[in-house]
Amino acid sequence: MSESIPLLLRLFRRCRPRLVGVGAHTSSIAQDLETGEMMTINWDLSTVASWVELQPWQLECAKFVGMLPNPADEKSWSAEQVEQIRRLVSEIEGRFGKIRPLGATKCAPLLAERVNRDVVPNDIRVLAERGHLEVVGTYKPPDDWQAHALFAPAKVDALAVEQVDAVVTARQQGTTATVSDQEASAMLGWRGGQFMVAVHMKKIEPNMVGRFARADVTALAADSEFQEQLRQLFGGVA
């Protein structure tokens, strides 16, 4: 008999159901040791998280970075794979912590307060570019075309002051290897939105944290023929 997820969660908290059917199937027959009741467990993400005593977002992060086996079908793991995931619990908790990931905008003031530096959201993104922070997921605001990176607060809190200082100094001196779309527009002297049109026309790809190579922006500035195309597209203003 199929059971709803809420009932499964209550059973997981009360006792450990004994798996009767295991293997490569994406559902298992389990028996509640207290009541003897039989039930079917479908191993989707929420159910697996409850079984291994993790939060669903922790599994989402582990899935995002490639720690988990690929689901046996589109949405569910097999019982064998669930056992593999259970053995990863300590590593998952250590890698992502116990606080839900945050975007750069929320991470920046937290880091700024700890290290007493002028940290802005783009500094968080550059720290990730330099390998000091791991992108553990993405989110896409309803009013934005671009996905935004998420970071584990525990890892942000573990950053060394020297790492932060190097990034803040590079930003203030204009020597970072990458720039945001706003910084690129300022470099080019373009109005808002024009740079993103150029990105589309020139097929310039942002990196994993949504920033663009400074060299690509410099190349746009030197491309007089393309700038003329852009002027015509925007009615003579570029």
Span 138-162, pLDDT tens digits: 998 887 777 899 999 999 999 999 9
If asked whether residues 114 and 72 sit together in one domain, one would say no
Helix-strand-coil split of the chain, %, nearest 5 = 50, 10, 40
State how far the Cα of 155 lies from the Cα of 96, in Å rounded to an integer: 8
Which amino acid is residue 128, in one-letter code?
Answer: A
pLDDT at site 76: 87
pLDDT at site 80: 85
pLDDT at site 105: 95
Span 46-71, pLDDT tens digits: 989 988 999 999 999 999 999 999 98
Residue 121, classed as helix, strand or coil, is helix
Number of domains in the chain: 3
Of 31, 66, 96, which residue sits at a domain end?
A: 96
Residue 116 lies in a domain: yes
Residues in the chain: 238
Span 75-91, pLDDT tens digits: 788 888 889 999 999 99
Q: What is the mean pLDDT of residues 201-207?
A: 92
Residue 10 lies in a domain: yes
pLDDT at site 28: 55
For the chain, the first-to-last Cα distance in angstroms comes to 66
If asked whether residues 120 and 168 sit together in one domain, one would say yes
User: β-strands 27-31, 18-19: how paired?
Assistant: antiparallel
pLDDT above 60 (res 178): yes
If asked whether residues 163 and 206 sit together in one domain, one would say no
Domain that holds residue 188: 178-233
Task: Yes or no: say if 164 and 158 are a contact pair by the CB < 8 Å rule.
Answer: no
Report percent pLDDT > 90 for the chain: 62
pLDDT at site 84: 93
Longest dimension (CA), the chain: 77
If asked whether residues 12 and 90 sit together in one domain, one would say yes
* Signed CA dihedral, 202, 199, 125, 177: sign only: positive
